[in-house]
Amino acid sequence: MSETARSPLQGPGFRWLLLYRICTLLSYQIVAVTVGWHVYELTRDPWSLGLIGLAEVIPFFCVAPFSGYLVDHLPRRKLGAAACCVLAANAAVLALIATGRLPIDGTWPIYAAIAVGGIGRSFLGPVYNALFARVLKREQFARGAGMGSVVFQAGLVLGPAAGGVLVGAAGKSAAYALAAGFAIAAALALLRMPVTEPAPQLQRGPVFASIGEGLRFVFGHQVLLAALALDMFAVLFGGAISLAPAFIKDVLHAGPEALGILRGAPALGSVAVAVWLSRRPLQANAGRILLGAVVGFGACMVGFGLSQLFWLSAFFLLLSGVFDGVSVVLRSTILQLSTPDDMRGRVSSVNSIFISSSNELGAFYSGAMARLLGLVPSVVLGGFVTMGVVAATAWRAPKLRQLDLRDIQ
């Protein structure tokens, strides 16, 4: 049987890696949903939701370049396990805040805990991407990226749903406690993973020169840079999901269970398309398909912003997830195929910075625009700007527009 036909799941290392990935995602997503509800319950201000993203992204940006360097030079599983322990401790502190056992008033302790979580999360992506290339053959990367996306999106479905249900049924502290348990499970999965890692090379060149090498590689690779930038700016302007608590309370007039459904709807759509792509990987016209998918994502955000019906809002978010799932799989495949093995940590940290720019800074942007323009106008405008970003990317990056994945395999 050829390596292309052989399922990546036949390797135990890849199965443990997927378990690590879904546990970290469940932990993070449960915290994200619970924190959003927690903060908005205290403030009733969309601006406070935007500050959640800012509180996480600032320490993330400061640490991410160094996390990529460390992943390239130190044992990756131990680093990942330590990062998971940080997430677990962070969730435990939030649980104590929710129960009132920490005698601290206001929202600043919540933001401080989020900032610590951002530091731990900066290691998760580089660890996953570096170990991905150690447990799979190159010929399996496209299928493995599809399966990884299935697990990723499944975590985005189950995490928000579990968080919303737990907040409504058992309270915020129970949701935070479950998130801590998933983080510990992720650490154990990494430590049990059978994989041969390269020998540590901490003294290989100056730190900043090594980090700069990874940055130069990404910014000198038109296809990779364009794919990352397209995702960053599209979700930055079109990622309205951070405003879901405000839409639930002020537009759709529902409860925390409905918030879990809205937060999970995009991921449910992404799971469906990722399952399809894991069995039928895209090859020809990959660049055009990627650009078209982001246009569809922007259009869905316009529809979500204009909807005043819960089921219709959920439908638009579900459809946005279908388009985003195509983008995630293609971007992941491009990243794995284009990156040399000895630079995977650093390049992945750059990728993580792009992703967090789109998610956390997008949350801050959405909160700020909602305060300036109102909830609905800010989301509708963001969807149209996303479609404009696609047009600009297609014009400035012809290699991405003409991309066939077979050319970089």
SS (H, E, C) 213-279: HHHHHHHCCHHHHHHHHHHHHHHHHHCHHHHHHHHHHHCCCCCHHHHHHHHHHHHHHHHHHHHHHHH
Distance of CA 383 to the CA centre of its chain: 19
Q: Which residue from 278, 402, 383, 363 is spatially nearest to 328, judged by alpha carbons?
A: 278
Distance in angstroms (rounded) separating the CA atoms of residues 91 and 383: 33
The answer to whether the CB of 240 falls within 8 A of the CB of 359 is no
Distance in angstroms (rounded) separating the CA atoms of residues 389 and 395: 10
Distance in angstroms (rounded) separating the CA atoms of residues 345 and 216: 14
pLDDT at residue 202, rounded to an integer: 47
Amino acid sitting at position 114: I
Distance in angstroms (rounded) separating the CA atoms of residues 186 and 30: 14
pLDDT at residue 126, rounded to an integer: 87
pLDDT at residue 2, rounded to an integer: 46
- CA distances from residue 161 to 26, 66, 155, 397 in whole angstroms, order as listed: 10, 33, 10, 38
The answer to whether the CB of 111 falls within 8 A of the CB of 55 is yes
- Write out the chain's pLDDT in tens, 409 residues: 444 446 777 777 889 999 999 999 999 889 988 888 888 777 877 777 767 777 887 888 788 888 888 888 788 889 999 999 999 999 999 998 888 777 677 778 888 888 898 888 888 888 988 888 888 887 777 788 778 878 877 777 788 778 888 888 888 889 999 999 999 999 999 999 887 766 555 445 566 676 777 778 887 788 888 888 887 777 777 767 777 777 887 788 777 667 777 877 887 888 888 888 877 777 778 888 899 999 999 999 899 888 888 889 889 999 998 998 888 888 888 887 878 777 777 887 777 777 765 666 676 777 778 878 888 888 888 889 889 988 888 888 888 888 777 666 5
Residues of the chain with CATH 1.20.1250.20: 9-192, 207-407
pLDDT at residue 42, rounded to an integer: 79
pLDDT at residue 19, rounded to an integer: 94
Distance in angstroms (rounded) separating the CA atoms of residues 220 and 216: 6
Distance in angstroms (rounded) separating the CA atoms of residues 77 and 276: 30
Q: Half-sphere exposure of residue 57, counting CA atoms within 13 Å on the CB side?
A: 20
Give the CATH number of domain 9-192; options: 1.20.1250.20, 3.40.50.1010, 3.40.1190.20, 3.40.50.300: 1.20.1250.20
pLDDT at residue 197, rounded to an integer: 65
Q: Helices 310-338 & 344-356, crossing angle to 10 degrees?
A: 160
pTM: predicted TM-score of the whole model, two decimal places = 0.69
pLDDT at residue 307, rounded to an integer: 86
Distance in angstroms (rounded) separating the CA atoms of residues 65 and 215: 9
Distance in angstroms (rounded) separating the CA atoms of residues 65 and 345: 9
Give the CATH number of domain 207-407; options: 3.30.1490.20, 3.40.190.10, 1.20.1250.20, 3.40.50.1980: 1.20.1250.20
